[in-house]
Amino acid sequence: MASICYRFILVFFSTACLVLTAFAITGSYENKSYLTPTYLINFHLNKLDLRQIIDTNIGQNGNSNNNKLKKRADETSATPTATTSGSLPSNAQGWINIASSVVGNLPSDVASAASALGTNLPSSVPSDLIPSSIPSGDVDQTISAAIADLLSNVSPQDLGIADVYSVSYWGYCRGELKNNGSSVFDGDLGRFVNENFDNSDVEYTWCSPPKAGYFFNPTTVIREELNRTIEGEQIDSQSSLINQLSSQYVNDLKVLVNNIADEYLNLPGNLQNDLTMLNNITKASFAMMIIAAALSFLCIVFQILAMCISPNNCCLSFLDFALQVVTFLASILAAGLATGAYMFVRRKVNDEMDQYGIKSFLSINFYAFAWSATVASLLVVIFSAVGHCCGCFSGERRRYRQVAAYEHKPEY
C-alpha cells in the first residue's frame, strides 16, 4: 500500500511539472488573454525618444564609435565612369555644368531648381527618387536631413509604434496601456506622455505569427512596424494615426526604412552587440523546456508501469530515477537560462531609462510557471530518493509462520 501511495505522489508532481512547463512554453503563442501575459520580457515605450535610438549623422562621424544609419551609396547614387571634362566634379554645380554641355542649354527653371539643390535635397524626397547624378556625399546629407526632420516632428505613436512590446519564445506582441489618466507634457519630446510606467494594466492587441526559435531583432521589428505604416495597414487601435501622416513624412519614412540597418541602432547598454548571444540562450532555454516536458511525460508512464509490474525490477527502478534527475536538470537549466538572460537585459535597459524613455519588465506568469515546474521536478527526485532508501517501493511483505506447540506423546 505504501508503494502505491508513493507512486501516486510521484505521478502528481511529474504531472505538475509537465503542465507548468507547457504553460511556460505556450505563453504569447497567439493573441489570447490567457496567453499574452506569459512572456519573457516586455518594453514600455510610452516615453520613447527615437532620436536617441537612431543616429541621423550619416557619413559625418565616420571615425567615431557612434552607431550610424547604413550608407547605401551603391543603391542611391551612381558615379559615372567618364565625363566630357576628363575628371569628376567635386560639387553638384559641376555636375550641372557637365549636363548642360552635353544636353544643351537647360531651361532656366530646371537649372535654377538644380542649382538650388546645392548640397541638401528637400527632406521629403525618398532615397529611391534621388537622381543618380548627385554625389554620394550629398545623398548622405539628404538622407540625414530627411530622417532628422521625421524624428524631430513625428511622435512614435504617429508612426504606428505601440506603447508596449512583449517578447516570447514564439514572437512579439503589441500592447496598449489602458491606464492613461496621468499624462504630462514632455517639452523635450514635444508631446504628452504617461507620467509613470505601469505594467499592471496592459492590454495586448496583436501578436506576430508564431515561429519556433524566434530570433528577436529590434531593427527587424521597427522595419516591420514602419512598413505597415507606409502601406497604411492598421492592425489595432494604436495604429489608427498612421493615415494622418502627410505625404512628406511618408516619404521621409521610406528613406528611414530603406537605410536602417542592424548594426546602426543605438540600443540601451549596447545590447545590439549581445543580440546573437541572447537569442542563442533563448533557444537553448526553449529546447530545455521541451525536453523537460517530454521527460516528465515519460516519468508518468514509468510510474504507471511500476504499478502494474513487479516493483522489484531493478532496471525499471534505475531508469525511472535517472529520468527524474535528468528532468530536474532540464527544468532548472531552462528556468535559469531564461531568468539570467532577461534579468541582464532588464537591468541594461532600466539603467538608461532616463535617456531613452524605455522601461522593461519581466513576466510574473512565465517565471512563476518555469520555477514552479523546477520545484515540482525537484520534489519528484526527493520523494523518489526517500522512497528507495526507506524501501517504500519494495513489494515484499513480512510473512510470519505459526509454529504449533510441541506435544510430547508418551511411549507405551
Q: Is the dihedral of CA 391, 392, 395, 400 positive or negative?
A: positive
**Span 264-273, average pLDDT:** 77
Separation between Cα atoms, residue 330 and residue 376, nearest integer Å: 12
How much is the pLDDT for 412? 52
Determine what percent of the chain is predicted with pLDDT higher than 70.
66
For residue 370, is pLDDT > 50? Answer: yes
pLDDT of residue 78: 40
What 33-39 contacts at long range (C-beta under 8 Å, 24+ apart), as own/partner pairs, is 33/204, 36/166, 36/173, 36/175, 36/204, 36/207, 37/204, 37/363, 37/364, 37/365, 38/168, 38/363, 38/365, 38/366, 38/369, 39/166, 39/167, 39/168, 39/173, 39/363, 39/366
CA atoms of 34 and 280, how far apart (whole Å): 27
How high is the mean pLDDT of the chain? 76
The three grid cell numbers given for residue 193, joined into one nine-digit string = 506622455
Tens digit of each residue's pLDDT (9 = 90 or more) over 151-179: 888 888 889 999 999 999 999 999 998 87
Query: Would you state the pLDDT for residue 399?
Result: 43
What's the pLDDT at 195? 57
pLDDT, tens digit, 9 for 90 and up, residues 296-321: 999 998 888 877 775 556 677 778 88
What confidence score (pLDDT) does residue 246 get? 86
pLDDT value of position 363: 96
Q: How far apart are CA 359 and CA 346, in angstroms?
A: 8
Higher pLDDT, 42 or 135: 42
Cell (9 digits) for 35: 496567453
Residue 242 scores a pLDDT above 60: yes
CB count, 10 Å around CB of 99? 17
Other residues' Cβ atoms within 10 Å of the Cβ of residue 407 = 5
35 vs 258, more confident: 35
Helix, strand, coil percentages for the chain (3-state, nearest 5): 55, 10, 40
- pLDDT tens for each residue of 380-389: 999 888 877 7
Q: For the beta carbon of residue 190, count every other beta carbon within 10 angstroms.
A: 11
Q: How confident is the model at residue 394 (pLDDT cuts 50, 70, 90)?
A: low
| Average pLDDT score over residue span 258-273 | 75
For residue 146, the model assigns a pLDDT of 78
Q: What are the chain's domains?
A: 2-27+273-389 (1.20.120), 73-153 (no CATH)
pLDDT tens digits, 92-128: 444 445 444 444 444 444 444 444 444 444 444 444 5
Report the candidate in 325, 336, 298, 318 with the shortest Cα–Cα distance to residue 379. 325
Per-residue pLDDT at 49 exceeds 60: yes
Per-residue model confidence (pLDDT) at position 139: 57
pLDDT of residue 343 exceeding 90, the answer is yes
All cell numbers assigned to 80: 559615372
Say whether 360 sits in a helix, a strand or coil.
strand
Sorting pLDDT into bands at 50, 70 and 90, what band is 405?
low
Q: Which residue has the higher pLDDT, 35 or 131?
A: 35
Most confident of 179-193, 225-239, 247-261: 225-239
* Mean pLDDT of the 398-412 span: 51
96-105, 238-247, 280-289, 383-392: least confident range: 96-105
Q: Which of 74, 71, 119 is nearest to 95 (CA)?
A: 119
pLDDT given at position 134: 44
Q: How much is the pLDDT for 8?
A: 87
pLDDT of residue 285: 97
- Per-residue pLDDT at 407: 58
Highest-scoring range by mean pLDDT, 44-53, 79-88, 109-118, 374-383? 374-383
pLDDT at position 151 is: 83
- The whole-angstrom separation of Cα 219 and Cα 217 is 5
% the chain with pLDDT above 90: 36
